[in-house]
Amino acid sequence: MKIAIYGYGNLGKGVECAVNAAPDMELVGIYTRRNPESVQTHGTPVFSANDLEQGKCEADVLILCGGSATDLPEMTPALAKKYNVIDSFDTHAKIPEHFNNVDEAAKNSGHIALISAGWDPGMFSLNRLYASAILPKGTDYTFWGKGVSQGHSDAIRRIEGVLDARQYTVPVEDAIESVRRGENPQLTTRQKHTRECFVVAKEGADKAKIEEEIKTMPNYFADYDTTVHFISMEELKQNHAGLPHGGSVLRTGTTGWNDEHKHVIEYKLTLDSNPEFTASVITAYARALYKMHHRGVNGCVSVFDVAPADLSPLSAEELRAKML
Amino acid sequence: MKIAIYGYGNLGKGVECAVNAAPDMELVGIYTRRNPESVQTHGTPVFSANDLEQGKCEADVLILCGGSATDLPEMTPALAKKYNVIDSFDTHAKIPEHFNNVDEAAKNSGHIALISAGWDPGMFSLNRLYASAILPKGTDYTFWGKGVSQGHSDAIRRIEGVLDARQYTVPVEDAIESVRRGENPQLTTRQKHTRECFVVAKEGADKAKIEEEIKTMPNYFADYDTTVHFISMEELKQNHAGLPHGGSVLRTGTTGWNDEHKHVIEYKLTLDSNPEFTASVITAYARALYKMHHRGVNGCVSVFDVAPADLSPLSAEELRAKML
């Protein structure tokens, strides 16, 4: 199957690598809004986004690697009119609206589209669904990290006097352990995660003021126990260049006529590279879209609608013999 | 939807409880090869297995709670000719053969059947498939326990001089930790699990001989570090009456052009009651079968072929809004 990528940031670069590792996929091009000649890839030809809009791409599935804030709400419905598309839209509250827009565009043009692929939304969502269907009497918990939050890092960078910053979301280990023991704790925002910030200040900047601004920032930091470390640019580059992330989805529930038996289901990810893992999930779902479209499925779907077998390059017989 | 159960051992009892907890299911009967009047249920009417064979059951889905050794290889294909059926066939090596037999029976009669629902095979299989599709370069590990193995407990009970026994499969914590750290260890059978046996001996039995017979038993114990404790019947009943189990499926893999980023995916179950959890998985898949049959799907399927959304009583819209 032929795959194309739109957007060549961290995610697009991860998809290029993941598609190259897939035995059954050919990467036909990377599309960009930048000058194509300025984009250096790992050997994939680069084309202008204008070509995409004019319908010149021959990919079976187009992987959209734009941002959720402004790119994807426009991009995914527009391109679903011309191509089978997949995105990693991650603004949870706006998923129903985005789904409806993409569904209308894809249905009217006979294409298939999948939104919100990745790990959250994505694999974490799947595990919430499986666990709640199996244990209807129970409670869900999601912990993120330890990992870099790009949104929180960006928020710190916007503070006056800050040159660069990296923010780690850290789950509270005692809280996770309490959930794992089946104690069913009621946890506040502060009890679930802490935030650790590594900040490079401009020369002469008021560090006390920066720290205060971070710790009191509404939504991002005010509800958390936040630690701020001022470090040099060299140290930031040396020790905080990666984009690790991960987390756990847990469901604890009971069975038995008197709820006498406790069960704990945990799905845990420990990722060295958030964008490359997200790209790997998207690439597997691109394979599923190709198969589903060949079976005549149109419109918008999510990971909830995809049978697991469609994600694998192996045949149904091989899967049953090797993995069931 | 109307559900019926065939077989009323530990698993059948668990299904009775799980179906009662489902908001969208009605349990219409339990079928047994015993005298129906001798079977005491939690209020569900009991009928003879003969009624089933004569096609007198009106359930939308029939849940087969027989054993994998001798019951299900006959029972599932025979009943797939008359009903939509689901089983928990767990003899991994014989799954392809069982699948083909059931598929032929179900296809010819216009029914749907699902084999091998539960947690292994079942949820563990699903997690092996998802993880390998996402991380094509990687290694799988499955650890079981700590939990009671019925097969190993039965093997001990067959030894002369043994009144009763309970065998726990115990994963080697150091081995799991090594996998979690991404060290990619090569592990022998002995390095992955130990076996702990609690044995009630008959009065005057030769305990040293029993212990020797257990520890040298081929397939079951000879390849493991095995510990044997002789205890009283009272102690067995008081401390070892439950059927806990669980385990972890892990996949460690790499991404990046030089495999420079490691990732660990872990799915972990900690279960107070193996049969009740297995029953809960089967019940969710019975719901999916009902939906799929209404969409016109016939023949045999496995958990690999079921879209996750079909497991939930919630609508697609609710799922996207609440869980994606």
Summarize pLDDT for A3-41 with one digit per residue, the tens. 999 999 999 999 999 999 999 999 999 999 999 999 999
- B266 vs A268: CB contact, 8 Å cut-off? yes
- A307 contacts B306? CB cut-off 8 A: yes
Percent of chain A that is helix, strand, coil (3-state, to 5): 40, 25, 30
* Residues linked to residue B237 through DSSP beta bridges, in sequence order: none
- Encode pLDDT of A256-305 as tens digits: 999 999 999 999 999 999 999 999 999 999 999 999 999 999 999 999 99
3-state secondary structure A227-279: EEEECCHHHHHHHCCCECEEEEEEEEEEECCCCCEEEEEEEEEEECEHHHHHH
B2-119+276-319 carries CATH number 3.20.20.80: no
Q: What integer pLDDT is reported at residue B263 of this predicted model?
A: 98
Quick one: B51 exposed, middle or buried, by C-beta within 10 A (0-12, 13-18, 19+)?
Answer: middle
**Percentage of residues in chain A having pLDDT higher than 70:** 100
Q: Which residues of A touch B262 (CB under 8 A)?
A: 272
B17 and A312 within 8 Å at the Cβ level: the answer is no
Taking phi over 0 as left and psi of -120 to 50 as alpha, with beta for the rest, A4 belongs to beta
Task: Give the nearest chain A residue to B319 (CA atoms).
Answer: A129
**Summary mean pLDDT of chain B:** 97
B58-84 pLDDT, tens digit each: 999 999 999 998 999 999 999 999 999
Cα torsion B56, B61, B66, B72 to 10°: value is 90
> Which of A17, A255, A257, A258 to probe the B interface (max B CBs under 10 A)?
A255
For the segment A234-253, the average pLDDT, to the nearest whole number, is: 97
- Taking an 8 Å cut-off on Cβ atoms, the answer to whether A324 and B302 are in contact is yes
B:243-282 residues touching chain A, CB 8 A cutoff:
255-257, 260-273, 276-277, 279-281
- The residue in chain A having the minimum alpha-carbon distance to the alpha carbon of residue B308 is A304
Whether residues A262 and B255 touch (CB distance < 8 A) is answered with no
E strands, B51-180, where? 61-64, 85-86, 112-114, 138-144, 147-148, 162-171
Q: What does the DSSP 8-state code read for residue B65?
A: -
A residues 203..222 contacting B (CB < 8 A):
none
- The residue-averaged pLDDT of A91-107 equals 96
Assign domain B147-243 to its CATH superfamily: Dihydrodipicolinate Reductase; domain 2 (3.30.360.10)
User: HSE-up of B5 (CA within 13 Å, CB side)?
Assistant: 27
Question: What is the per-residue pLDDT across B104-157, written as a single tens digit (0 to 9) for each?
Answer: 999 999 999 999 999 999 999 999 999 999 999 999 999 999 999 988 999 999
Distance, CA of B245 to CA of B271 (rounded, Å): 5
* Chain A hits for B319, Cβ within 8 Å: 129, 304
Q: What is the pLDDT of residue B105?
A: 98
Residue range A198-221, pLDDT digits in tens: 999 999 999 999 999 999 999 899
Read off the pLDDT of residues B250-260 as tens digits, 9 standing for 90 and up: 999 999 999 99
- Average pLDDT, stretch B292-314? 98
Domain residue spans in chain A?
Answer: 2-119+276-319, 147-243
Contact A89, A115 (CB under 8 A): yes
Q: Give the tokens for residue B206.
A: 């030769």
